[in-house]
Amino acid sequence: MSVSVPLLGTKVRYGRDGWLPLPHILSDTDLKKLVDRIDGISAQRRPEVVHEEGSSAVRALHGCHDFDEVCARLVRLPALVGFAEQLLGGPVYVYQFKVNMKQAHEGAAWPWHQDFAFWHHEDGMAAPDAVNIAIFLDDVTDENGPLEVIPGSQHGGIFEDGTRAEQHSHDWHDHVSAKLEYTVPDDIADELASALGVKRLTGSAGTAVAFHPSIVHSSSNNLSDERRCLLLITYNRIGNAPAHPTRPAFLVGRDSTPLVPADDNSL
Ligand code: SIN
Ligand code: MN
């Protein structure tokens, strides 16, 4: 199966809403292969594996495409690379690769935020000329902490509390924990949500969605019995690579040469 090249209507819709459902990309066999690989990595102790605060539950994995061959192939699938290139209008590279595990009962929230706030302030990314593709590795339901987006909010620039500018820790751990830096202030998130509505991105394992770096999004604690694992790949337009990123390479990809797509869409 492949993701079709974005047609004009698709691009316009993405431009309007800031998110887009994509066709399933992976076969059931490949999805299982990927999930097995992610389970294996999450059992490793390495800097790329981050735990929930005060818990042994794994919260997230980072940069797996740099050390695992299945993940390395995933980011080069022609369906994904082609989609990102068409959407961004040129060659792309992997800016970020992460897997948010959202373990049953223990997976903690992601407060309202915009990814571009982190990438701009911390890494020096000039423009939000990147796209996130989220692949659901588990069934995502209303109960297990789905991603929620505010469609259209990507048009408002970076929403932030200017009085906090001096207080940022510039510690990357605060960019991957439930106590997040660069959150959208509650009153602004409430206003955006009532003006624009909130879309919950639910679907069966294998579902894929694209979303904009500036869209306001969040997800709640996972209080359910079911894990909610999301794999997120951020493709950045080559000309938009930050000049001197300082955060770890597993958070900010350093290889900004154009991705060469794999020969087919299988893992
Ligand atoms: C989540 O995994 O629910 C949050 C994803 C994100 O902020 O990109
Ligand atoms: Mn995010």
Question: From the CB of 96, is ligand 1 less than 6 Å away?
Answer: no
Is the pTM for the entire model greater than 0.75? Answer: yes
Residue type, 217: H
By the 8 A CB rule, do 259 and 76 touch? yes
Compute, in angstroms, the gap from residue 52 CA to the centroid of ligand 1: 14
Compute, in angstroms, the gap from residue 126 CA to the centroid of ligand 1: 22
Using H for helix, E for strand and C for coil, what is the string for 109-134?
A: CEEEECHHHHHHHHHCCCCCCEEEEE
Q: Is 158 helix (H, G, I), strand (E, B) or coil?
A: coil
What is the reported pLDDT for 163?
66
Which residue from 103, 88, 67 is spatially nearest to 5, judged by alpha carbons?
88
Could you identify the residue written with the tokens 């624009």? Answer: 196
Long-range pairs for 158-162 at CB < 8 Å and ≥24 separation? 158/114, 158/116, 158/117, 158/120, 158/214, 159/114, 159/184, 159/185, 159/188, 159/189, 159/192, 159/216, 160/117, 160/184, 160/185, 161/185
Residue type, 98: K
Compute, in angstroms, the gap from residue 112 CA to the centroid of ligand 1: 10
Local confidence pLDDT in tens for the 267 residues of the chain: 445 555 778 889 999 999 999 999 999 999 999 999 999 999 999 999 999 999 999 999 999 999 999 999 999 999 999 999 999 999 999 999 999 999 999 999 999 999 999 999 999 999 999 999 999 999 999 999 999 999 999 999 999 887 666 678 788 888 888 788 899 999 999 999 999 999 999 999 999 999 999 999 999 999 999 999 999 999 999 999 999 999 999 999 999 999 999 999 999
By the 8 A CB rule, do 205 and 226 touch? no
Question: From the CB of 230, is ligand 1 less than 6 Å away?
Answer: yes
| Smallest-distance ligand from the CA of 118 | 2
What is the reported pLDDT for 1?
44
Compute, in angstroms, the gap from residue 69 CA to the centroid of ligand 1: 24
Question: From the CB of 58, is ligand 1 less than 6 Å away?
Answer: no
Q: Over the stretch 106-126, which tens digit does the pLDDT of each residue have?
A: 999 999 999 999 999 999 999
20 DSSP β-pair partners:
210
Q: Give the other-Cβ count within 10 Å of 135's Cβ.
A: 23
CATH architecture of 10-240: Sandwich (2.60)
Compute, in angstroms, the gap from residue 211 CA to the centroid of ligand 2: 10
Two tokens at 180? 């997040």
**Residue 134 to residue 138: CA distance in whole angstroms:** 12
Residue of 19, 106, 110, 119 to mutate, ligand 1, most atoms within 8 A of C-beta:
110
Question: From the CB of 110, is ligand 1 less than 6 Å away?
Answer: yes
